[in-house]
């Protein structure tokens, strides 16, 4: 049986192949796209110049009142509608042109670029990791809207992985009462673990409040507290002076409701009918930054070793994020790294494509995911 290459040997090999492939295959394609990029940019500028002229003309006409001096009212309305439409197009078109260019660039180049990594496949705007898997991990608070971007699947050092760049939202209400809460934005990575977990064990940064661990009641209590507070404010000053008695009554009532919601959220079962209780681990510094939960305290401590805690903390530092979390469930280890950065980009309409630094960034982002396997020793059976 062939022994897996060391991480240094593997990354050095990938980097050599990357530069060879870049100069021989990718650069000629990018040179063609650079010409197309310039042509699209010129076209966009011309269209935007026309639209801007219409917007400015409409704005001047409205400001001076000349539009409303038309003999027929429908002409004035038509001019305002055209101006508003031009403004909308002026805002929308730069994004549309850019997204169209990026999609075409990735469709043409991504397969060739990934060829140097072996068994890796790109999936465009695909929810490669299903919502069912997301729910099994208990890493995410309930969401009902999801947007998926770049996704990759394959294997590295005989460890299968799936990578999904995704945003998650919880939307409620409609019209003026519509609210949208961002649950997660970043990259989710799923590996086959070298340890089987009968239940679920979760680690999450304390700054990440949108985990799926027993927090529904807590958030319901906070939301109820906020909404109720807004409703009672007018009553407190209804008679022209502050009603202390009514204020105390509302505080007591809200405290009772919030306490009940907190207890339900802390000890109640979530939608998967599994209770995850908080664990206090051996490392006091780790406990200051993270929370750990498991439905099996003994197994949780077996999985979250001192070495794993150290690596996990270094991982968050490496990615420069304040929010990172992971979950052991079944024979799967899932990481969720929150970031506002747009990952896995190989170019766009507004940057030159013949600058190798863009491709270098893509290389570093993708191989940093591969390093999870080596860093957490997922290809070894001896432990994490």
Q: What is the pLDDT of residues 118-135, one digit of tens each?
A: 788 999 888 999 999 999
Q: Which residues of 68-79 are buried (b: 16+ CB within 10 A; e: fewer)?
A: eeeeeeeebeeb
> Does residue 245 fall inside a structural domain?
yes
> Does residue 375 fall inside a structural domain?
no
Quick one: which of 120, 183, 218 has its CA closest to 325?
183
pLDDT score for 226 = 55
C-beta separation of 375 from 368 below 8 A = no
Point out the domain boundary residue: 97, 118, 139.
118
> Does residue 323 fall inside a structural domain?
yes
Q: What is the pLDDT of residues 161-173, one digit of tens each?
A: 999 999 999 998 8
Same domain? 245 vs 320: no
Answering whether pTM is above 0.85, one says no
Point out the domain boundary residue: 67, 95, 118.
118
Q: Which residues of the chain have pLDDT under 70?
A: 1-10, 68, 70-72, 195, 214-242, 246, 257-274, 316-318, 320, 381-384
Same domain? 47 vs 163: no
CA dist., res. 329 & res. 179, Å (int) = 32
Based on the structure, what is the number of domains in the chain? Answer: 3
pLDDT score for 40 = 95
Same domain? 207 vs 275: yes
Same domain? 169 vs 311: yes
pLDDT score for 151 = 94
Same domain? 278 vs 258: no
Same domain? 294 vs 165: yes
What's the domain range around 236? 218-267
Same domain? 179 vs 278: yes
* Residue whose pair of structure tokens reads 């070495």 in the numeric block: 307
pLDDT score for 274 = 63
The sign of the CA dihedral 349, 351, 353, 356 is negative
Alpha helices by DSSP H, listed for the chain, are: 7-21, 27-64, 73-114, 131-137, 216-236, 244-267, 284-289, 297-303, 306-319, 356-375
> Does residue 4 fall inside a structural domain?
yes
CA dist., res. 230 & res. 222, Å (int) = 13
Same domain? 188 vs 224: no
Same domain? 95 vs 69: yes
Strand, helix or coil for residue 291: strand
> Does residue 363 fall inside a structural domain?
no
Task: Label each residue of 250-274 as H, E or C.
Answer: HHHHHHHHHHHHHHHHHHCCCCCCC
> Does residue 384 fall inside a structural domain?
no
Distant-in-sequence, close-in-space partners of 143: CB < 8 Å, separation ≥ 6: 168, 169, 170, 183, 184
Quick one: which of 211, 195, 192 has its CA closest to 203?
211
Point out the domain boundary residue: 118, 133, 150.
118
CA dist., res. 101 & res. 194, Å (int) = 41
């Amino acid at each position: 049986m062939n022994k897996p290459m060391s991480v240094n040997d593997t990354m050095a090999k990938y980097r050599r192949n990357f530069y060879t492939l870049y100069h021989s295959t990718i650069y000629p394609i990018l040179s063609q796209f650079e010409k197309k990029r310039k042509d699209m940019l010129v076209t966009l500028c011309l269209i935007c110049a026309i639209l801007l002229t219409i917007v400015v003309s409409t704005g001047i006409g409205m400001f001076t009142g000349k539009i409303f001096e038309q003999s027929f009212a429908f002409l004035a309305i038509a001019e305002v509608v055209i101006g508003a439409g031009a403004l909308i197009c002026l805002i929308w078109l730069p994004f549309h042109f850019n997204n169209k260019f990026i999609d075409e660039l990735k469709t043409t180049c991504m397969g060739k670029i990934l060829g140097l990594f072996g068994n890796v496949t790109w999936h465009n705007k695909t929810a490669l990791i299903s919502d069912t898997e997301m729910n099994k991990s208990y890493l995410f608070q309930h969401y009902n809207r999801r947007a998926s971007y770049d996704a990759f699947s394959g294997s590295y050092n005989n460890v299968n992985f799936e990578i999904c760049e995704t945003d998650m939202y919880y939307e409620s209400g409609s019209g003026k009462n519509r609210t949208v809460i961002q649950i997660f934005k970043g990259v989710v990575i799923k590996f086959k673990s070298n340890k089987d977990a009968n239940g679920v064990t979760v680690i999450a940064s304390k700054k990440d409040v949108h985990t799926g661990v027993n927090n529904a009641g807590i958030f319901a209590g906070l939301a109820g507290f906020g909404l109720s507070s807004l409703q009672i404010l007018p009553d407190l000053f209804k008679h022209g002076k502050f009603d202390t008695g009514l204020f105390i009554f509302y505080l007591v009532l809200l405290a009772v409701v919030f306490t009940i919601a907190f207890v339900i959220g802390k000890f109640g079962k979530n939608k998967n009918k599994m209770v995850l209780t908080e664990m206090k681990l051996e490392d006091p510094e780790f406990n200051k930054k993270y929370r750990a939960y498991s439905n099996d305290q003994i197994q949780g401590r077996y999985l979250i070793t001192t070495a794993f805690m150290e690596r996990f903390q270094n991982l968050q530092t490496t990615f420069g994020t304040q929010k990172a979390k992971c979950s052991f469930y079944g024979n799967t280890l899932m990481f969720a790294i929150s970031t506002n950065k747009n990952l896995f980009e190989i170019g766009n309409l507004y940057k030159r494509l013949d600058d190798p630094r863009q491709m270098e960034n893509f290389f570093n982002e993708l191989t940093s995911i591969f390093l999870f396997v080596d860093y957490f020793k997922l290809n070894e059976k001896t432990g994490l």
